[in-house]
Structure 1
């Protein structure tokens, strides 16, 4: 089903929004029809994720709040794009899509992982006046990938033929319904999603550099609009991966050693500070530490996210 206008009052819950310059994005919406001047929530997923990862958060969000999650071009139900998968291009596509559907500001932006960089580029494209607030969920910023140098190749090697989400326990420790989890699993298995993951990943450093040039962490662009930084515990996930590899005997010693060095010499030292630097985006910011989550806080503690969104939404009325 395709829609191009009046999306905010449309009864349909999901469909493709076509952009004027071609292409479209698949959007999921929840919540009551929007009231005049009320902010709407825009969810941005991380690298390799589709909009379905926000299913539990959208379901548990206060029903008065209109919210939109979507599949970036090439993920899930959204067709692939011919443009490079840089953060700037992704943010531009999202803004064009919202404008095509007459989904107007103000927006509350919520980004997980790499989605933190994407919503920062959306901030740059739309302007601070369009933003009612932002929520960063264990999110990356412009210095994350250059400084942490996450060893994705080691993670893949330690997984071997096993499912990463299963290894770290996320298939059993989550707040999703069975239907929601099935949708996530189907989306991630699509060949287009795998190709898009590689294309986005290849431009991580380039996208980080482009965001760094905007100097948002130095200029407090949101002034007093609220920002919340929710931090998970990525170490927990990776420790589970290491333990599983050791128990199965499938982890090569050099891979185990490199992962332990990453945890001790980079993640432990830099991760918390990198995430807290995002508090500089506003003079009205707060930090929340998730206590029962790894990286995917939206899967294991969605109520932390919904409560922060609700606070921002009510403050903006």
Structure 2
């Protein structure tokens, strides 16, 4: 009787366990299906998201550079921190009617391969840039265009190659001599961004970003380029490259302070500044502080050359080159012969 009673009492629990096991199997099957779909979609998306330019070896890994047009000097465009060449495409297409124009992706970003050690010091970036120029046969005089962090990089290159750089356009460029309060704000933003990117990187590697690329935020890309921009982020190592750059950003600011990039002689210089650099995740007080300091940066940048112009763009934010491309186009044209 005890044995029979025990069996009768346990029987409902056996059915419960069978039900739980069935649910687990279904969940595993669903996850496997989603991952398979993600992998397949990512593979298909990769096949149609081809680089417009060429990949050049710079020492065991390859960087992407896209050049269009003919003439001299060659205009070379440097993207902002964690950005890549596609952000310049509209501007590049217009300028290519006037001269040769090249845009490229730093290691790990866009279509470029990552550095084997993921080290992203400004010295390494510039060494890669020099190797890339040689590999892509970009010779002769240059006009450099840099956005945000890219503005600091082109300034350092020009500092070391003043004989070759014939002009520079800084597009809402960053400046290295920042206050302690600004440094603390930037560190907080970077820390939060790195935590978010760690999750996004996992989704990208699993192929889940490829299943819904429309969820990738739009920085203000033209509609004709937005789909390609999102496809690159969903299929390449770009998210990991963003982490690499952000992880070393504070150190690179310090390195650029040590480089003493304070004078450019009479090199033609155009500084283009946004009217509002507010960030939604910051308090009103922090945004007020950052905007005030950023505007002071822009005024300082405009004093680096005795031959400079400062253009302030109303109704613009940090990505003003996406919002007002013709302003950048005209500034670059002013650096060209017979302009």
TM-score range, shorter chain: 0.7 to 0.9
Shift of 1:13: 6.0
Between the aligned partners of 1:105 and 1:145, the Cα distance in structure 2 is: 38
Residue pair 2:276, 2:291 contacting (<8 A) in 1 also: no
Between the aligned partners of 1:301 and 1:100, the Cα distance in structure 2 is: 32
Match of 2:233 in 1: 188
Shift of 1:269: 2.5
Match of 1:301 in 2: 324
Shift of 1:281: 2.6
In the TM superposition, what are the counterparts of 1:249-288 in structure 2 within 5 Å? 258-264=282-288, 266-288=289-311
Match of 2:31 in 1: none
In the TM superposition, what are the counterparts of 1:1-317 in structure 2 within 5 Å? 14-19=53-58, 21-31=59-69, 33-34=70-71, 38-61=72-95, 63-83=97-117, 84-125=119-160, 127-144=161-178, 148-149=182-183, 150=186, 151-152=188-189, 165-166=217-218, 170-171=219-220, 176-178=222-224, 180-190=225-235, 192-217=237-262, 220=263, 222-235=264-277, 238=279, 241=280, 258-264=282-288, 266-314=289-337
Note the alpha carbon deviations across 1:87-116, whole angstroms, 9 max, x for none.
111111011110122211311111111111
Between the aligned partners of 2:174 and 2:337, the Cα distance in structure 1 is: 26
Between the aligned partners of 1:85 and 1:54, the Cα distance in structure 2 is: 22
3-state DSSP class of the match of 1:288? strand
3-state DSSP class of the match of 1:41? strand
Specify the structure having the higher radius of gyration (Cα).
2
Residue pair 1:105, 1:131 contacting (<8 A) in 2 also: no
TM-score, with normalisation over the residues of structure 1?
0.76
Shift of 1:163: 6.1
Shift of 1:14: 1.4
Shift of 1:282: 1.4
| Residues 290/164 of structure 1: CA separation in 2 closer, same or farther (3 Å cut) | farther
| Residues 163/133 of structure 1: CA separation in 2 closer, same or farther (3 Å cut) | farther
- In structure 1, runs of 5+ residues without a counterpart are 1-11, 243-257
Between Structure 1 and Structure 2, how many residues are aligned?
Answer: 270
Shift of 1:121: 2.6
TM-score, with normalisation over the residues of structure 2?
0.72
Residue pair 2:190, 2:246 contacting (<8 A) in 1 also: no
Q: Which has the higher contact order (CA 8 A, sep 6+)?
A: 1
Match of 1:246 in 2: none
3-state DSSP class of the match of 2:66? strand
Between the aligned partners of 1:197 and 1:212, the Cα distance in structure 2 is: 22
Between the aligned partners of 1:117 and 1:259, the Cα distance in structure 2 is: 27
Between the aligned partners of 1:189 and 1:76, the Cα distance in structure 2 is: 10
Between the aligned partners of 1:203 and 1:96, the Cα distance in structure 2 is: 21
3-state DSSP class of the match of 1:102? coil
3-state DSSP class of the match of 1:235? coil
Between the aligned partners of 1:195 and 1:154, the Cα distance in structure 2 is: 15
Residue pair 1:88, 1:118 contacting (<8 A) in 2 also: no
Residue pair 2:271, 2:309 contacting (<8 A) in 1 also: yes
